[in-house]
Chain A
Amino acid sequence: MPETPRPARPRGIDPRGPRFGAAITSVLLLVTAFLGLTSGPAAQTASFGWFAYQPLAGVVFAPGGEVLRQRALDPGFIALLVVALLFLWGVVAPRTTPWNLLFRTLVQPRLRPPTELEDPRPPRFAQGVGLLVTAVGLVLHLLGVPWSVPVAAAVAFVAAFLNAVFGLCLGCRLYLLLQRLGVLGRAPAA
């Protein structure tokens, strides 16, 4: 029977690998959201407003530096930074990420061989989406926007959790949506 030929694809990967990584990532993001809610500007909002982050008396003559340092030392910020760096790692070199190594050395040998292999590009694109979301959260936090760390962590958590538990790829839908809006996919994809 006639069948449309498909272009040559990169070597396939076990689809359970990215889902294993997404499960660990979603736990990390949940912890990040918790830290963001209990320790960051969001925590102060409830008690005395985020104006608490305005320069204190001692640093009036050096506005910015001390505030930025305080914001950067926020536990929620540091946790989100770690997750963002892991996303970056997943975009730059997906095969060498800690979760991928852990999956291949400890988990995969105990599972049955995969019934089908997956194109490695979609999970990599999804890591890029995660990087974008967390990076926006980090920048907004440094600019002093309250709730930016927990909200960014929550958005990334929803995507990672749906991928890990339900196998739903929000990144794929986003790709198609952007493409329909004419942002992506007009030029030949790399």
Chain B
Amino acid sequence: MTIVGALLGLAALLAVTVGVGVLLRWQQSRPRRSIPHEVVEPARLGAERLGDRATLLQFSTELCARCPGVHRTLSSVAGAQDGVVHLDVDLTHRPDIARHFHILQTPTTLILDRDGIVQTRFGGVPSRDVLELELARVTGEAAHA
């Protein structure tokens, strides 16, 4: 291959990589709301109970660089509100849970309403503002229901 051809190939590689990165990052910051109706059983996850108004359900693994940071964010968001509980489930030894919730990346965060129904899903690292907005939506809906 000529030098020009090689440089063109590398430029294409770089462009595709940047495109993939932008796409993945854009997807991560977006909450997903069209989720099949599901009531989460706390006992299955090894928790005693869910929050009275909402639950922030986080899935982590041992080898997950971003999980501890998200854990801190979710803890402080949940701690600032009454009736909101943060659960962090380690999937490292629980592939059954990972399969059940179709989790392909950690951290993944689900927002459950007061009945334990999955309302919102975040893949990756959610921004604190979007998270609080979604939480307000879920708890507000539950109050009106």
Partner-B contacts on A (CB < 8 A): 1-4, 6-7, 9, 15, 30, 33-34, 37-38, 42-43, 45-46, 116, 118-119, 121-123, 125, 150, 154, 157-158, 161-162, 165-169, 171-173, 175-177, 179-180, 182, 185-186, 188-189
Contact = CB atoms under 8 A, between A and B. Distances in A.
Contacts, number: 133
B104 A173 contact: yes
Interface stretch (B17-25, B33-41, B114-122, B137-145): B17-25
A87 to B, nearest CB: 16
Contact of B95 (A30, A119, A186): A186
Given A116-B72, A119-B68, A189-B92, A175 B17 contact: no
Given A6-B88, A172-B106, A182 B95 contact: yes
Interface in B84-123: 84-93, 95, 98-99, 103-106
Contact of B25 (A158, A161, A168): A168
Contact of A3 (B5, B62, B86, B105): B86
A43 B13 contact: no
Interface string B46-57: 011000000000
Query: 5 tightest A-B contacts by CB?
Result: A37-B6, A166-B21, A122-B65, A4-B88, A122-B63
Range, interface on chain B: 35 or more
B75 A172 contact: no
5 contacts: A4-B47, A4-B89, A118-B65, A158-B16, A180-B104
A82 B47 CA distance: 48
Contacts of B98: 176, 179-180
Residue of B16, B66, B106 contacting most chain A CB atoms (<10 Å) = B66
B10 interface: yes
A161 B18 CA distance: 8
Contacts of B95: 179-180, 182, 185-186
B78 interface: yes
Contact of A179 (B5, B14, B92): B92
Contacts of B2: 38, 46
Contacts of B1: 37-38, 42-43, 45-46
Contacts of A2: 48, 85
A38 B93 contact: no
Contacts of B14: 30, 161
B32 to A, nearest CB: 17
Nearest to B6: A37
B64 interface: yes
A90 to B, nearest CB: 15
Given A30-B10, A180-B98, A185-B92, A122 B64 contact: yes
